[in-house]
Amino acid sequence: MSKENFVKGAAILSVAGLLVKILGAVYRIPLTNLIGTEGIGYYQPAYNIYNLLLVVSLSGFPTAIAKMVSEKRALQNYEGAYQVYKVSRWGLFLIGLVSSVVVLVFARSLVTFLGFPGSYYSMIALVPALFAVPLLSAYRGFFQGSQNMMPIALSQIIEQVFRVSVGLYLAYTLVGRGLEEAAAGATFGASAGGLAALVLIYVMFFLSRKSIKEEIKLSSNNKQEPVWNVVKGLLYIAVPITIGASIAPLMGMIDSYIVSNRLGAIGYTSLEIVDMYGELSGTAQTLINFPQVFSTAVAMSLVPVITETFTRKQYEKLNDTANAGVKISMIIGLPCGIGLFMLAEPIIALLYPSIGPAKHASSGALLEIMAISVIFLTLVQSFTAILQSVNKQFHPVKNLAVGLVVKVVFSYILIGMPSINIRGAAISTTISYLVVALLNWWDINRSTKIKISLIKVSARPLLSAAAMAAAVSISFRILRSVLGSQNLATLGSIGAAVVVYVVFLFLTGAITKEDLELIPKGEKLRRFVRK
């Protein structure tokens, strides 16, 4: 594959990934306004179970399939590559079949165990997705290994478009029948998206079968392995990735269980618990997901750059690149975290007008706490990318497991305190991300040739963020007084914050020309900044 085609493929996936993440993040805002925090309280527990079950098929296996297909194609063994696809397709078919049947049979028991029996319809609505999405990942892995990124990108976009449009339509249609039914309509969007994407990618695969067979026919190095050898190869790659990826959805599922049980233990009714959990997951958590669109992109961009310098043993450049990457993560995380903290309640009121002033205040209190976690989460992402790039993949998994334990312990203790209640879940999330960030940082400095100075990488971005915070405080008060509208004052102060922050980034020297070169199209951005 030529360098130009590789860059084109990476660009296609990057654009598709960005669109998918933005759609996913924006989706929750109209949905929460439509079905309220109580409806989200029925929606989210089912989604937590769904995400955990899908980790098996969506995290490790596409990567394993792509790697094995790519290796065999590089050896001109096109028949072996096709065999990997066929074996994985049948394996993922069985995984999808078993998981969907298990959920169909035990759905009521699962949601009742978590303490959210009202999520039963939402859980049932996800059964088709549990069957379709594993099969979908088999096709995506094959196309990725064949270095054909367009079918993957199109299927990702179609999946999310159907999920959002069908989910919102059904929620709107069913909201009159009850919030449990409306939440189920919203979750069925995932099933509609999975099925639509599966149909699309199958059609694209069917249209490419002629060229696949032609490749196999013309190859002189075709050979097949025993099926068990293929299965072992897939599992060897997929299992470690799957274990690491399971921790985050497992944390979400455990969180819903602890929230339900601990709030019930201090006297809250089941309806109050659902409503409070909906505030946590439907308003505060949704807004925390927005900055991840950009911090994840930075972390993904770090991997190839650091991997290249590490492979070439350019240790001075490796150290400089890693520190620059962490600094860029801080440049993203600090303003997002501080801005969300300072304008928590006004932003909630702006985006969720339908939930009312009382919930604006309570959701704003949750967002204030979770806003701080944005800073630690961006650090976790950049540190994880660095460790993965220098062949220390196990360290982030181990540290995430420690973070999960910390999360469980603090959630159990804090949520059970009547004066803290649901806020304990937000506090425990922030503490767990802090712990994981510190452990990752310690592992980088101890186990690699990279030395990250947190003071050095954060001092100038922190100074710029402090100036931004002052601008937010002053502009919000003035604009609210002059305009007489909190929503307009919120929008105006956000605009002022962006301008002040960007100006101070350059005034303080927080961004250098070397930093800009790490960003895609950074050379053009550098020329613009110079002007």
In tens, the pLDDT along 330-379 reads: 988 999 999 999 999 999 999 899 888 998 999 999 999 999 999 998 89
User: Could you tell me how many residues make up the chain?
Assistant: 531
Q: In this model, does residue 5 exceed pLDDT 50?
A: no
Annotate 21-83 with DSSP letters as a single string: HHHHHHHHHHHHHHHHHHHHHHHHHHHHHHHHHHHIIIIIHHHHHHHHHHHHHHTT-HHHHHH
Q: Is residue 387 part of a domain?
A: no
Q: Is residue 234 part of a domain?
A: yes
Q: Is residue 236 part of a domain?
A: yes
In tens, the pLDDT along 466-518 reads: 999 999 999 999 999 998 899 999 999 999 999 999 999 888 888 776 666 55
Q: Is residue 456 part of a domain?
A: no
Residue 11: domain span: 1-246
Give 12's pLDDT tier (boundaries 50, 70, 90): low
Segment 26-51 mean pLDDT: 87
| Cα separation values, 249 from 45, 78, 222, 254, Å | 11, 36, 40, 9
Q: Is residue 129 part of a domain?
A: yes
Least confident of 12-21, 214-223, 358-367: 12-21
- Residue pair 344/288 in contact (Cβ under 8 Å)? The answer is no
Q: Is residue 11 part of a domain?
A: yes
What pLDDT, on a 0 to 100 scale, did the predictor assign at position 7?
Answer: 45
Segment 399-423 mean pLDDT: 92
d(CA 428, CA 256): 13
Segment 248-276 mean pLDDT: 87
Give 1's pLDDT tier (boundaries 50, 70, 90): very low
* Token duo for residue 247: 């921790």
Q: Is 70 left (phi over 0), alpha (psi -120 to 50) or beta?
A: alpha
Number of domains in the chain: 1
What pLDDT, on a 0 to 100 scale, did the predictor assign at position 2?
Answer: 38
* Token duo for residue 518: 């790490």
d(CA 296, CA 377): 10
Segment 220-246 mean pLDDT: 79
Residues 6+ apart with CB under 8 A from 208: 148
Between CA 368 and CA 377, with CA 373 as vertex, the angle to 5 degrees is 155
Q: Is residue 355 part of a domain?
A: no
Q: In this model, does residue 159 exceed pLDDT 70?
A: yes
- Residue pair 143/68 in contact (Cβ under 8 Å)? The answer is no
Q: Tell which wins on pLDDT, 105 or 319.
A: 105
Q: Is residue 76 part of a domain?
A: yes
